[in-house]
Amino acid sequence: MELTVAKLVFKSNTKNINLVEKLIDDLSTKYNLHSDIYGKLLLAIVEGVNNAIVHGNKLDDSKDVIVEYSIDKEKIEFYIKDMGDGFDFSNIPDPTKPENIEKTHGRGIFLMNHLADEIEFLENGSNVKLVFIL
C-alpha cells in the first residue's frame, strides 16, 4: 500500500461530524480495515473533532476544523486542528477517579488516550495527533 495523505476542512458545527464519520467509513472500506481498528478510529476521531468544535472553536461556525490523515501499510495518522487557543493538556482530571465519576465532561481525551496507539498534543493543544497501528 502506498502512502496516502488527505485533508478535510469544515466549519465548526456539530452537524459536520457526519463528514468525519463518512471519512472513517470510506477509509475502512477502501483499506479493508479490521473492525477493531475501525471502532477505535471512529470513536477517537469523532471525539477529537467534537472537542475541536465545542472546546477549541467554541461552536463558532466561522472557524474551521482541519482533519488531515496519512495511511500506509503500517499505520494511520490523524491530525485534528482547531482555531482555538489550545488548553493545558498536562492537567486533565482522570474521569475514573471517584471525585470525577459523575462529571459529564473530561472523558474525551481519556477515551482518545486509550483508543489510539499514540497521542500527541501540538501547538498548545489546538492540534492533536493520533496514531493507530494497523
Q: How far apart are CA 44 and CA 109, in angstroms?
A: 9
Q: How many residues does the chain have?
A: 134
Residue 107's pLDDT is 74
The full set of domain ranges for the chain reads 4-133
DSSP 107-134: -HHHHHHHHSSEEEEEGGGTEEEEEEE-
Q: How far apart are CA 33 and CA 27, in angstroms?
A: 8
Q: Taking the model in full, what pTM does it have?
A: 0.91
Fold category of 4-133 in CATH: Heat Shock Protein 90 (3.30.565)
- Digit-by-digit pLDDT tens for the chain (134 residues) are 778 889 999 999 999 999 999 999 999 999 999 999 999 999 999 999 999 999 999 999 999 999 999 999 999 999 999 999 998 888 777 767 777 666 666 678 889 999 999 999 999 999 999 999 99
- Dihedral, 96, 102, 106, 108 alpha carbons, nearest 10: 80
Residue 84's pLDDT is 96
